[in-house]
Amino acid sequence: MIIVGVDGSVTSRAAVEWAANDAFRMRVPLRVVYALDGSWYQLGKYPYVGLPDFLVREGRRILREAEALVHERQPTVDVTTQQIEGTPTVVLREQAKDATELVVGSRGLGGFAGALLGSVSIHVAGHIHCPVVVIRGEHRPPQGEVVVGVDDSPECEPALAYAFEQAKLRGSALRVLHAWQLPVHAFAPEIAYDMDEVRTAQHQVVRNRLEAVAKDYPQVEVIEDVQSAHPVEALTDASGRADLLVVGSHGRGAVGSMLLGSVSRGVLHHARCPVAVVRA
């Protein structure tokens, strides 16, 4: 099952559309979830007892509109809705325990979205075991390409497998991108580097990662992309020509650094397409 969090914002609507399309491609049910967050009414010496009726009514309205949007975009998708009392991060984490995928908007009205690098990306993507897809609100024409960042660690293989599956379902090419930079001491004049040897080694990193997964997806066109560049810059540039950018959350090295590291934060800030974070 795919879970999508909604709050009535523009990016929330975009997340519903994306989730509906992915549910159709995967042939799995879709659940639309609204967090009924009453924390704002529990402050002070005398906390509010119970939630205001208008909050409950607004949540129901948002869920009805989201369900209608799913039926409009993908009539055959089995969709259910659920309004749950609690803070968005707690609700999402509980709902996604057995999910195939969790989809959220990048910025919203303070419910599921909030700041892009706030509760959703840090407390949701960093702790949920299923892939978490962060959606922007703008519509773009299909690009026909999925991009995945890889490094030299086995922890990036779940992200690579997810990216292959997405490329297969979409009939898209898969760009496997490995961006690397020489270490700081490489610029010391007393240390010599054979750049051809370094490039060959980096290409081999990509091939080693591909060998573990590609054999199961013979129908997917693979583009090996090894760049001497900062990972955030390379991935952001590639995202401009992609329908989806996939990164791992707990790899090592440049591309696959921890979710809360600079690469993941930079990608979430600057990518121009939806970003899927896949936990190792």
Query: How would DSSP label each residue in 99-136?
Result: -SEEEEESS-SSSS-SSTTTHIIIIITTT-SS-EEEE-
Band of pLDDT at residue 115, cut at 50, 70 and 90: very low
- Residue with the bigger pLDDT between 51 and 258: it is 51
pLDDT score, position 261: 53
Whether pLDDT at 43 is above 70:
no
More confident residue, 165 or 45: 165
Please tell me the distance from the alpha carbon of residue 111 to that of residue 51, in angstroms, as a whole number: 15
Q: For position 72, what pLDDT does the model report? A: 97
Domains of the chain, earliest start first: 2-135 (3.40.50.620), 145-278 (3.40.50.12370)
Regarding pTM above 0.75, the answer is yes
In this structure, are residues 275 and 268 in contact, taking their beta carbons and an 8 Å threshold? yes
Confidence of residue 120 (pLDDT cuts 50, 70, 90): low
pLDDT over threshold 50, residue 117: no
Say if residues 270 and 232 touch (Cβ distance below 8 Å): yes
Structure confidence at residue 196 as a pLDDT band (50, 70, 90): low
pLDDT at 136 over 80: yes
253 against 60, higher pLDDT:
60
Order of strands, sheet of 275-278, starting from the edge strand that comes earlier in the sequence: 79-85, 30-36, 2-6, 101-105, 132-135, 275-278, 244-248, 145-149, 173-180, 222-228
- Radius of gyration from C-alpha coordinates of the chain: 20
Cα–Cα nearest to 32, from 50, 245, 51, 77: 77
pLDDT tens for 95-108 read 998 899 999 988 65
The answer, yes or no, to whether residue 207 has pLDDT greater than 90, is no
**67 pLDDT more than 80:** yes
Query: Rounded distance, CA 155 to CA 166, Å?
Result: 19
Distance CA 246, CA 237 (A): 14
The pLDDT, as a whole number, for residue 152 is 75
Question: Taking Cα atoms as reference points, which of 1, 5, 64, 71 lies closest to residue 32?
Answer: 5
Mean pLDDT, rounded, for 103-125:
58
Q: What's the count of helices (H) and strands (E) in the chain, helices before strands?
A: 8, 10
